[in-house]
């Protein structure tokens, strides 16, 4: 088998959707003649730890090497799972961090990981390095290994680096330095994997040396095994369940949806009495306060964070799913991993998105209801439309043929073909 070093700071037992792309890639790599060794973080404090995903990695027989650092997550490791702070506090802390740490606050871990990787490369033969980002500091510090060990590097962009919707540049110097660091990193990479064509277009436009073939799209997806033999919870009443799964931060807020629902309680109390809003994950103190202010607590059920298996079960037990993204810089390039998991459930989706790849993907899915992210009136009317279709048992269903291309096993096969293409020439 070919052997690949996979560098991923975010990996189980850390939870949330950011870890799943890498986990599912390495889970299926052995099916296509590639044996992965994952270099990831040690014990760290994080917003969620998911033992179901950790067990999945263990059962797949994945070799995992954990490296400790001095980044904030490691320094706070004694606290293990920590609740996300209020969004305002999180944004302030993020801005402070981005002011002093370039490209991100995982620099300490990235440097230690590179030292470990050097040790591995000296003692064992690997055919390629696959690094997933963010954090982008790992990608930047790995670039020197290409010449030192004559090994190809492939980078996986889950989000944009320069110009990201998460990025904060307090001075022009920060902006220039980020762009320079990304330029040097991309120069060292043999191939770049991105989740959607918007990211591909922006990279090629920003860095003129990149060609169309240098950047390959492998989208987010869903694992068909997650949905096998999952039975929905029995319905205790005839209420239509609208669910959101995940956390709210940076580009995602429930405030417009909640205000739309409040307006519905005034205009159509006959409908809202037949609707339940489920929140699977961290709702956040500010959003709980808004729910109390709007006086709609009786319609809302919060489950808090649950592990991946339980999250899938609650998604499957829902009648309709909801997701959104606010208008922000380059938000047209965001394709939330959670959206593809929603699609794997085959449930109808209310998508509140501006123009961009998320909206395009939902249109392709078909079983969707699209609105502007901040148009309260439009969201309210969409809820009414969805409810009327639900009562008539006429909610739309997706095209099965479209879903096949988003299966995680098929996406892992695409990735291994790209690895095969860049693998060390002496093994080709």
Chain centroid offset of residue 351 CA: 16
Residue 208: predicted pLDDT: 97
Distance of alpha carbon 156 from alpha carbon 216, whole angstroms:
9
Measured CA to CA, the distance from residue 231 to residue 228 in angstroms comes to 9
Phi, psi of 251 (to 5 degrees): -110, 5
- Give the separation between CA 426 and CA 248, rounded to whole angstroms: 47
Instruction: Give the integer Cα–Cα distance in Å for 118 and 21.
Output: 25
Asked, as a colleague might, if the bond just before 13 is cis with ω within 30 of 0, I would say yes
Strands (E), 312-380: 320-324, 349-352, 368-371
CA distance 355 to 55: 38
Write out pLDDT tens, residues 151-191.
999 999 999 999 998 899 999 999 999 999 999 999 999 99
Lay out the sheet containing 368-371: strands in order across: 300-304, 275-280, 240-245, 320-324, 349-352, 368-371
Contact partners, residue 200, CB within 8 Å, separation at least 6: 194, 215, 217
- How many alpha carbons lie under 13 Å from residue 189 in its C-beta half-sphere? 30
pLDDT for the residue numbered 339: 96
List phi, psi (to 5°) of 65: -115, 120
Cβ 11 vs Cβ 22: under 8 Å: yes
- The DSSP code sequence of 28-89 is HHGGGTEEEEEEEE-S--BS-B-HHHHHHHHHTT-EEEEE---SHHHHTGGG-B-PPPPHHH
Residues 6+ apart with CB under 8 A from 173: none
Among 367, 360, 128, 344, CA closest to 228: 344
Asked, as a colleague might, if the bond just before 135 is cis with ω within 30 of 0, I would say yes
Distance CA 91, CA 252 (A): 13
Query: Which whole number is the average pLDDT over 109-125?
Result: 96
CA 191 to chain centre: 21
The helix/strand/coil state of 39 is strand
Structural domains of the chain, ranges and CATH numbers in brackets: 2-221+407-427 (3.40.50.2000), 225-404 (3.40.50.2000)
CA atoms within 13 Å, Cβ hemisphere of 335: 24
> In this model, does residue 425 exceed pLDDT 80?
no
Residue 427 above 70 pLDDT? no
Query: Between the CA of residue 337 and those of 121, 222, 361, 405, 408, what are the distances in Å?
Result: 32, 8, 12, 15, 12
Question: pTM above 0.85?
Answer: yes
The pLDDT-based confidence of 348 (bands split at 50, 70, 90) is very high
54: tokens are 């950790």
- Measured torsion, CA atoms of residues 216, 220, 221, 223, in degrees rounded to the nearest 10: 110
**pLDDT of 357 above 70:** yes
Average pLDDT for the chain: 94
Model pLDDT for residues 380-401, shown as the tens digit of each residue: 999 999 999 999 999 999 988 8
- Over residues 20-59, the pLDDT tens digits come to 999 999 999 999 999 999 999 998 888 888 999 999 999 9
CB 367 within 8 A of CB 395: yes
């Amino acid at each position: 088998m070919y052997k690949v070093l996979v560098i991923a700071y975010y990996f189980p037992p850390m939870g949330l959707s950011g870890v799943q792309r890498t986990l599912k890639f390495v889970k299926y790599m052995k099916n296509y003649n590639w044996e992965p060794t994952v270099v990831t973080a040690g014990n760290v404090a994080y917003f969620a730890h998911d033992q179901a995903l950790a067990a999945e990695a263990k059962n797949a027989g994945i070799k995992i090497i954990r490296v400790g650092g001095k980044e904030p997550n490691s320094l706070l490791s004694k606290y293990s799972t920590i609740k996300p702070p209020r969004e305002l506090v999180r944004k302030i802390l993020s801005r402070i961090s981005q002011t002093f740490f370039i490209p991100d606050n995982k620099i300490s871990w990235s440097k230690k990981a590179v030292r470990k990787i050097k040790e591995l490369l000296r003692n064992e033969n690997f055919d390629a390095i696959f690094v997933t980002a963010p954090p982008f500091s790992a990608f930047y510090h790995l670039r020197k290994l290409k010449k030192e060990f004559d090994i190809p590097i492939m980078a996986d962009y889950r989000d944009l680096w320069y110009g990201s919707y998460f990025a904060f540049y307090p001075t022009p110097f920060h902006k220039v330095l980020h762009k320079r660091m990304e330029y040097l990193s991309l120069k060292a990479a043999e191939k770049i994997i991105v989740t959607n064509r918007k990211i591909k277009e922006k990279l090629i436009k920003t860095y003129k040396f990149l060609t169309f073939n240098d950047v390959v799209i492998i989208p987010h997806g869903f694992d068909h095994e997650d949905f096998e033999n999952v039975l929905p919870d029995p319905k205790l009443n005839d209420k239509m369940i609208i669910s959101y799964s995940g956390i709210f931060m940076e580009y995602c807020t429930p405030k417009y949806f909640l205000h739309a629902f409040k307006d519905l309680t005034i205009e159509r109390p006959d409908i809202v009495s037949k609707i339940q809003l489920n929140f699977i994950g961290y709702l956040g103190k500010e959003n709980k306060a808004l729910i109390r202010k709007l006086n709609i607590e009786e319609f809302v059920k919060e489950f808090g964070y649950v592990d991946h298996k339980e999250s899938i079960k609650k998604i499957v037990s829902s009648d309709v799913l909801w997701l959104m993204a606010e208008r922000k810089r380059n938000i047209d390039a965001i394709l939330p991993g959670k959206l593809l998991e929603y699609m794997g459930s085959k449930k109808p989706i209310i998508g509140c998105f501006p123009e961009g790849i998320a909206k395009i993907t939902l249109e392709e899915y078909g079983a969707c209801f699209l609105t502007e992210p901040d148009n309260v009136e439009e969201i309210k009317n969409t809820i009414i439309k969805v409810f009327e279709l639900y009562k008539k048992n006429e909610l739309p269903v997706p095209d099965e043929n479209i879903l096949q291309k988003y299966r995680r096993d098929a996406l892992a096969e695409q990735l291994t073909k790209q690895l095969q293409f860049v693998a060390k020439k002496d093994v080709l």
